[in-house]
Structure 1
């Protein structure tokens, strides 16, 4: 960004600051991208230069830029620009036709990559379905991701390209689903088995730096339209680090970005991880790019029975009556990894989708706190299923609840969850109000592109109503866990900023902070709650610069 017009006086606005000492103001002054005054017009004019640019807010609501604590935006940008895209409610027939259309537009040797197929299709992705996929692709290799992004569906050409056959062993924490009798792969790869194909695909992606940069910029521009000015990239592979380093060097970042580097080898980090990536931190770090977190996985996802649960899944022919899943690491193993990362100055984002993995992670952090102290603020990512006894431990141990993706209201994934977990357990998920009452720091995220729409306004309305803002799925999910508007807004602004270690820089409109603010088409506090998801951002300012302006 070469535009230096990052100083102005904003007046005649309803400014919601997220500062409890001064919740509302009518004017503010920005100088060189920083807020230098907040308050009444006469008060702020006293510190403004005589020739400063003046912006009339016309009475509109202004608030801090929105934040997203869990957003794979580089991969999302690639998906939107270069991959086959379809919604998770698509039928198998629809997906086959999408692949057929894509094949017509690609050379014979070109991979067809895309998604996202819904978890509800797991039972339909059989060997026979793979034969249909083979025919539709016309010999081209195909890899399709599911709505959790933990599992992949491949055709025969892709299996061959990855060297997967009947003799290929299952990787640790992963499964190659096979046809009964012959042992031939059906094309369905679960959890860590996904690394077998992602390593092949990622090798080609790494060789497309300008395409990756274009994807990152495309995604950032889309996020700016929603008012997002701060986000955490939750799985910062070498490709992601290289891409964002270049974007930052070109002064094209339009949001704060905190990176989370994979700590150990896993399904999404098959080339470099741990200290190989940690060694790149200093070279990557810049004003708005912060490589301060590591990423770990403690389990998978409930829909494939790979989440670690305290109580059994519903009985099934495959898993029996007492299956609970398992953690990817023991508590002592995890404690050692956490301690090593802390010694390197790295906080952790730890993937936990089951209440069993949440408890084990809290146990490990408790151990590490006893000898390392509590200077590092760690995050438990997703935190959808948490035992009631463990909720107070988040606050006691200084652990953030990363609330992502937006599964706190009915939807495709929630419907699939009801097929593997007792319905009353599904209705105990994402206990937001209970967490707030226990003093837990909440930080909201989208997990884009796991969910195809990263709009925080959808998540905000759903957090307040626990109902599907689109109206596609009826009913409510644990209405007793609804949050009020002010609390939900904090989970989308100052909460994530604190979780990322950026609370001194952004998250609220206070003197000394970066001028990251948005002007809205409505006052959220006078808008009917059922209309919050339709909120439009008129202007997004990042570091005092207008990075998005809606068409008039």
Structure 2
């Protein structure tokens, strides 16, 4: 069998430690069949083989995004009001006014994202009055840049059924006016699910919208060079959309899903054992329901991350508040043990160092009674892993736990400003110890957390990991520059490492004979590009299983 295509005269970064760099690849039957020098690989050509001259351009494995909310991202692109986290409160209000003017009365206006720096202002009654003034005929729901909190207007509060007497849901808070007790419209953590459920009830054909959103999301991901991704919180409707798309032959990427073990921020009804029991119904060639998603804490911007040291003092929380974990260590031990019994893994959301320590402790317990891990067992993930106590850094490798990183979130910008407002500077700035984790041998994998960020552009994260600066500019200084990494390490973090963390490394993540022909061609030699210009890199073409699924115009 001759190769269908041979790509030659290129600079091939294989992400395969044994092979290093190459000049050419051959593809047949959706897989790489040869990788090497031009003469050797071109010698495999047959009468029907297409020869593609790369003209010296760089070819590398498809990007693997270890953490996104792809369907939400597609939905945002197709249907939602778009805000920027840098907008002022007045600018957000004006955007809502314009969207309401173009929307039929009574229809929901929803979207995001507003910046964490607005939390304090939005929590006041005056902000609700300003929102109501421009949206009286429409229920409104706006997500913040952590996706953990929602801002709604009075019309939405009425539709949701929130009054001054409505109790807070477990692990959530309906923010109230200190004087009157009336809801201010700010819903924190699990209270956000009340608003999300109300929006979903208003959509006539939710299944069709979900499938369209899923399709659009994968198109966007392919455009940035992504050929495999892990959806970080996959509720049943999302799982149904993914499986339907793949069975129709329309899913151009590998997708590992993370089935929520707890109530989610979206307010999904089916979670935990009942959802996990149905997972095999939706397993397809490209959809792998192999993870359970758990939340150990919230986010530092609203002081809901579980920390080892206190936040800045406030009138309500005093001087010694550190946040609280959402799951006890014994309960987490039971979840991890159950996952391993099912042949699954866990992805645990941890934004605070106390949450990270508790999760490592729980994994340690499971490892102790399931036998020592030899590196071939289940690789569990700690999602975000931004604040990590130095004593816990070596434990990632020792316990075979991957650090799921979110580089596009943390470099200097609105979220980091909000964290500095909540935490002492010296603690807030010791954020994302990437070099320390790497040098300790931890498995590092990178994700976008889209649509927490506006788009899943990996090149922003690649540059940020190397420069520790905001690639878009506008914010002075670098965040803990001693933790910078080199380009080759970062490219592995975005390819083979992420595939390994997701359980896909036998299929994809590197350019090796026998693996899926998932690769991209970029417009520059990344290793000859100044670090501060890496974010300008463009993907010329994206190939999934040997098919071109994106080509730059």
Contact persistence 1:236–1:260 (CA under 8 A) = yes
Say if 1:337 and 1:222 are closer, same or farther in 2 by CA, change over 3 A: same
Give 1:369 deviation, angstroms. Answer: 1.1
Any unmatched runs of 5+ in structure 1? none
* Structure 2 residue aligned with 1:383: 385
Is 1:95 matched with 2:92?
yes
1: CA distance, partners of 2:100 / 2:279: 40
**What is the aligned length?**
547
* Structure 2 residue aligned with 1:253: 251
Is 1:113 matched with 2:102?
no
* Structure 2 residue aligned with 1:15: 12
Q: Secondary structure at the match of 2:548?
A: strand
Cα-to-partner distance string for 1:459-516 (whole Å, 9 max, x where unaligned): 0001001011111111000100000000011111111100000001111000100011
Q: Secondary structure at the match of 2:284?
A: coil
* Structure 2 residue aligned with 1:123: 120
Is 1:65 matched with 2:67?
no
Q: Secondary structure at the match of 1:128?
A: helix
The 5 A counterparts of 1:217-296 are 217-296=215-294
Pick one of 501, 508, 511 that aligns with 1:509: 511
| TM-score, scaled relative to structure 2 | 0.97
Pick one of 137, 145, 153 that aligns with 1:147: 145
* Structure 1 residue aligned with 2:546: 544
* Structure 2 residue aligned with 1:327: 325
Contact persistence 1:408–1:463 (CA under 8 A) = no
The 5 A counterparts of 1:73-472 are 73-125=70-122, 126-205=124-203, 207-373=205-371, 374=373, 375-404=377-406, 406-472=408-474
Say if 1:409 and 1:474 are closer, same or farther in 2 by CA, change over 3 A: same
Give 1:269 deviation, angstroms. Answer: 4.2
Q: Secondary structure at the match of 2:408?
A: coil
Q: Secondary structure at the match of 1:69?
A: strand
Q: Secondary structure at the match of 2:422?
A: coil
Contact persistence 1:153–1:188 (CA under 8 A) = yes
Q: Which moved further from structure 2: 205-214 or 310-319?
A: 205-214
Give 1:165 deviation, angstroms. Answer: 0.6
Contact persistence 1:8–1:54 (CA under 8 A) = yes
2: CA distance, partners of 1:179 / 1:222: 41
Say if 1:198 and 1:463 are closer, same or farther in 2 by CA, change over 3 A: same
Give 1:47 deviation, angstroms. Answer: 3.6
Cα-to-partner distance string for 1:49-83 (whole Å, 9 max, x where unaligned): 33211111111010001111111111011111111
Any unmatched runs of 5+ in structure 2? none
* Structure 1 residue aligned with 2:38: 41
2: CA distance, partners of 1:268 / 1:298: 17
Say if 1:19 and 1:276 are closer, same or farther in 2 by CA, change over 3 A: same
Contact persistence 1:292–1:346 (CA under 8 A) = yes
2: CA distance, partners of 1:7 / 1:280: 39
Say if 1:6 and 1:426 are closer, same or farther in 2 by CA, change over 3 A: farther
Q: Which moved further from structure 2: 430-439 or 95-104?
A: 95-104
Q: Which moved further from structure 2: 204-213 or 171-180?
A: 204-213
Q: Detail structure 1 runs of 4+ shifted over 4 Å in the superposition.
A: none
Give 1:199 deviation, angstroms. Answer: 2.2
Contact persistence 1:191–1:267 (CA under 8 A) = yes
The 5 A counterparts of 1:473-512 are 473-512=475-514
Give 1:279 deviation, angstroms. Answer: 2.6
Contact persistence 2:145–2:453 (CA under 8 A) = yes
Contact persistence 1:231–1:255 (CA under 8 A) = yes
Give 1:48 deviation, angstroms. Answer: 3.7
Q: Secondary structure at the match of 2:306?
A: coil
The 5 A counterparts of 1:19-30 are 19-30=16-27
Cα-to-partner distance string for 1:272-296 (whole Å, 9 max, x where unaligned): 1122222332221111111111111
Say if 1:23 and 1:269 are closer, same or farther in 2 by CA, change over 3 A: farther
Contact persistence 1:405–1:447 (CA under 8 A) = no
1: CA distance, partners of 2:475 / 2:194: 35
Q: Which moved further from structure 2: 94-103 or 480-489?
A: 94-103
Contact persistence 2:194–2:267 (CA under 8 A) = no
Contact persistence 1:16–1:25 (CA under 8 A) = yes
Contact persistence 1:67–1:492 (CA under 8 A) = yes
1: CA distance, partners of 2:398 / 2:463: 29
Contact persistence 1:7–1:33 (CA under 8 A) = no
Give 1:206 deviation, angstroms. Answer: 8.4
Contact persistence 1:408–1:466 (CA under 8 A) = no
Contact persistence 2:3–2:49 (CA under 8 A) = no
Contact persistence 2:407–2:465 (CA under 8 A) = no
Give 1:205 deviation, angstroms. Answer: 4.9
Give 1:377 deviation, angstroms. Answer: 1.2
Give 1:42 deviation, angstroms. Answer: 2.3
Contact persistence 1:206–1:239 (CA under 8 A) = no
2: CA distance, partners of 1:520 / 1:134: 47
Q: Secondary structure at the match of 2:191?
A: helix
